[in-house]
Amino acid sequence: MLAVINYNAGNVRSVLFALDRLGIEATLTADPTEIRAADKVLFPGVGEANSAMQHLRDTGLDEVIKSLTQPVLAICIGQQLLCQHSEENNTPCLGIIPQNVKLFRPESKEKVPHVGWNTIRDLKTDGVFDASLTNEYVYYVHSYYVEVGQYTTAITDYSLPFSAGLQKDNFFATQFHPEKSGTVGERILSNFLAI
């Protein structure tokens, strides 16, 4: 079973539609037993870090996510919530990946939020990425980013290089939206489902 964590973050339906296009059945759930029993887990979302973390703490889903041992794919704010801390309203996050989330402060003409298509490079190809995805375009909507570091699996350049993807142990993540990234995103989702 593939579980999609339902924690009042936006954009869950577009993830379910993308999975449906791939012929994959998924269960949208906030039930800890279902999430722990799933073969794989998706942790998507769009929203604000502080309120998302508050909801996770209030429902106990923060501890559920930290306890997972099966492959987990976090998307957009999901990636940010896996980290240690976010500058968005000074939010302590899940601390699964020991990196911090920062606000874009572009020194040139780049707009914040970063919205639209951009390429991915420097891919680590033993997870959700494969070499054929180098320099492919993916879709972004975000104002906060994770710096490039030891857990970075893909890089995008917008004002500065940032982590388009992260991985630590069984936790995989993308800052971009694979569910909105056309056939490239479908390949990334398929790679995750094949892990």
Do residues 24 and 73 touch, judged by C-beta distance below 8 A? no
Average pLDDT, the chain: 95
pLDDT at 11 over 90: no
Phi, psi of 160 (to 5 degrees): -160, 165
Q: What is the pLDDT of residues 128-146, one digit of tens each?
A: 999 999 999 999 999 999 9
Q: Pick the catalytic residue: 87, 93, 177, 186?
A: 177
Cis amide prior to 92 (ω within 30 degrees): no
Contacts for 105-111: CB closer than 8 Å, 24+ residues apart: 105/159, 106/159, 107/159, 108/159, 110/158, 110/159
63 flagged as catalytic: no
- The tally of domains found in the chain comes to 1
179 flagged as catalytic: yes
Q: Pick the catalytic residue: 83, 88, 136, 179?
A: 179
Do residues 142 and 162 touch, judged by C-beta distance below 8 A? no
Whichever domain contains 79, its CATH number is: 3.40.50.880
Q: Where residue 108 falls among pLDDT bands split at 50, 70, 90?
A: low
Per-residue model confidence (pLDDT) at position 2: 98
| Averaged pLDDT for residues 153-171 | 97
76 flagged as catalytic: yes
Q: Pick the catalytic residue: 76, 93, 114, 136?
A: 76
| Averaged pLDDT for residues 154-178 | 97
Q: Write out the residue range of the structural domain in which residue 168 sits.
A: 2-193
Per-residue model confidence (pLDDT) at position 110: 86
Per-residue model confidence (pLDDT) at position 8: 77
Per-residue model confidence (pLDDT) at position 109: 77
- Which helix (H) or strand (E) covers residue 78, if one does? helix 77-81
pLDDT at 35 over 80: yes
Q: What is the pLDDT of residues 40-98, one digit of tens each?
A: 999 998 889 999 999 999 999 999 999 999 999 999 999 999 999 999 999 999 999 99
